Structure formats: C-alpha cells, structure tokens
Amino acid sequence: MTLLDVRNLGVAVPAARDWRTLVDGVDLAIGSGEAVGLVGESGSGKSMTARTLLGLTPPGARVTGDIVFDGDSVTGMSRRELRALRARRVAMVFQDPRAHINPVRSVGDFLTEALIAHLGHTPTEAQARATRLLADVGIPDGARRLRQYPHELSGGLLQRVMIAAVLAAEPELVLADEPTTALDVTTQSEVMAILDELRRERGMAMLLITHDLALAAATCDRLSVMYAGRIVETQESTALTATPRHPYTSGLMLSRPSIDTVVDRLPVIPGRPVAAYESGDGCAFEPRCAHAEAHCRDRRPAVQDLAGARVACVRAGELTLQGDTA
C-alpha cells in the first residue's frame, strides 16, 4: 500500500524579480513500512523536498505538483490540518539536534510537551513514557537525563533524544534529514541501527535523506538519487549498488574508497554540482558526464523504466556502468 505519493513536485523561491527553482519535477512513492533513501550532493534539493512534504517551505515559496499522504492531499491542507499531520502522523528527525531543541528547557520538557499537548497524557504519565522512550533509544538512567539540559549531552545522545521525541507520537512516516552528519563514525552506526530497528519494530515508513550512498544502501529498501533538484534514478538498493543505470550514480559509487583496493587517487566526478535554477534546458549532469552527446544539451531527459529501474538518461539503455567496487 502506498503511504506517500509525490507527483511532479516543484519548489521555487522569489529572488530579486525572478524565481529560483530548488526542486523540479520530483516523483517519489513510499509504501507503508518501507524505507526509501534520497541521496545526492549538497544543494541537490534533498532537504527542501523533505521539508516541503510537511509544508515547511520558505516564506513566499511557490509549490507545484501534488503530495498525497494516505489518500489526503498535503498541498491542499490548511495550517491547522498541517499542524495535526506533523503532530501525529509524520515526524521529522533534523540534521542538527542542537538547532531544533530549545537550549533553555530541559530534555524532560522537550520530550513531555507533545505527550501532554497532543496525546492527552498527564505530567506523571508523560514523564514515565519519556523515560521508557529514552531506554528504547539506548539512553540509560532516563530519570536523570530528563533533568538535564541540551548543552549537557553529547551530539550522539542529543540525536537519540530527538529520535525518542519522534517515536513518542508513533508516526506512520519518519523523515530523517541527514540524522548522523554531525556525529562520529561509530556513533553514526549506533544511531542508524537504533532508528532502523525501532522503525521495523513499529512498522513505520521512513524517508532517509543523506549524501552517504553506502549508508542509505545498507538501511533502505529502495534508493532515489537526486541531482540539481531532480531525481535521476530510482532502484532497489541492492540493484542500484550493483548495477547503476545513471552516469551520476555510477560516479558516486566509484568515488567511494574501498578496503580491498589500494589506489593513489580516488576517481572523482569532474566539475561541480549545480542547483536546479542553474541548469539549462538539457540534462543538468551533461557538463560533468563522460557519456554525454550533443543532444544531451538540448533537451531534458524523460524518466524511463528500464529493467526495474526508473532512470532520467537518454543513454541508460545502451550504457554499461560500473557500480560498487567495495
């Protein structure tokens, strides 16, 4: 069953006397209980896509296309309906927990506020529930932690608190916006393992926003790769890492270091990534693509179905690309 269905989503923001496109023609679907990864370089539009799903767009932004959650159109919701959606059904784990937790309020205040305001718990019930939630995310001695303030916790512990707050509402969909970027490698692994285990136990769907293709492949059922505000490839995780269909995806895979191979220099994708508003009428990846032809500059490639993949590349059917070498 499809829980979230995004069709031709576009987001543009006002700039001087013109509009700057940040997200352009995104199609995305997530089934109940499914984990989908949205992968791409910084500036590709990943976070803006996730925020738009909850109506968290910049002031004056123009949103086109449609977002349907469990049969209801999110783009047509009132502010009151959006607040109800965020409170109970869709939750977001933000990239930097310190920027999204009030530094002058205790961890207990942060965790119990939603339980009391939206779920009708008494303060005593909310305290007990918050303590159990902290234990669920691997934080012992919950009663003491509830009395602490954000500055007293490490980044890893604070991100676990953020996950506990998300789980408190028992949402149907979790939007995880680069939840491990600010953490060290060991803590990253622990936090993602906790998030994935709790998601599976509770039957929640998840959209994981990340620039780490390997992390997404290890955690998600399907992957969508984003470039310049558009999704250029979608495949099952194992298929995408083994047989990428888009030159950009292949470039991302080949640029990963391998523990089995010694190289003097890692392969890199030449040039620099561009935002959606910087791309022309043709393929946005064309200036960096080793397989580009003259017509790639003239028209935007349509998304085509190819052996279980959805790919936006006119040469996808004829190219044999390399995948993960690790």
Tokens representing residue 35 in the block:
């984990």
Positive or negative, the CA dihedral 28, 5, 216, 228 is positive
Task: Look at residue 324 in the predicted model and tell me its pLDDT.
Answer: 61
Q: How far apart are CA 53 and CA 105, in angstroms?
A: 28
Cβ neighbours for 246, distance < 8 A, ≥ 6 positions apart: 225, 232, 233, 285, 311, 312, 313, 316, 321
Helix (H) / strand (E) containing 50: helix 46-53
HSE-CB of 232 using CA atoms within 13 angstroms: 30
Cβ neighbours for 53, distance < 8 A, ≥ 6 positions apart: 4, 6, 67, 69, 74, 90, 175, 207
Q: How far apart are CA 17 and CA 34, in angstroms?
A: 42
Q: How far apart are CA 283 and CA 315, in angstroms?
A: 12
- Spacing of C-alpha 252 from chain mean position: 17
* pLDDT tens digits, one per residue of 188-230: 788 888 888 888 888 999 999 998 888 899 999 999 999 999 9
Helix (H) / strand (E) containing 90: strand 90-93
Q: How far apart are CA 104 and CA 211, in angstroms?
A: 32
Positive or negative, the CA dihedral 238, 239, 241, 246 is negative
Tracing tokens 């080793």 back to the chain, one arrives at 290
Of 305, 187, 193, 166, nearest in space to 245 by CA:
305
DSSP 162-194: HHHHHHHT--SEEEEESTTTTS-HHHHHHHHHH
Tokens representing residue 237 in the block:
């995780």
State the pTM of this model: 0.90
* pLDDT tens digits, one per residue of 82-103: 999 998 899 998 888 888 889 9
Strand partners, 207: 36, 175
Assign domain 2-220 one CATH number from 3.40.50.300, 3.20.20.70, 1.10.10.10, 3.30.750.24. 3.40.50.300
- Spacing of C-alpha 35 from chain mean position: 10
Task: Look at residue 325 in the predicted model and tell me its pLDDT.
Answer: 47
Of 105, 141, 143, nearest in space to 127 by CA:
143
Q: Based on the number of CB atoms within 10 Å of its own CB, is 4 exposed (0-12), middle (13-18) or buried (19 or more)?
A: buried
Low-confidence ranges of the chain (pLDDT < 70): 182, 323-326
Tokens representing residue 250 in the block:
């292949």
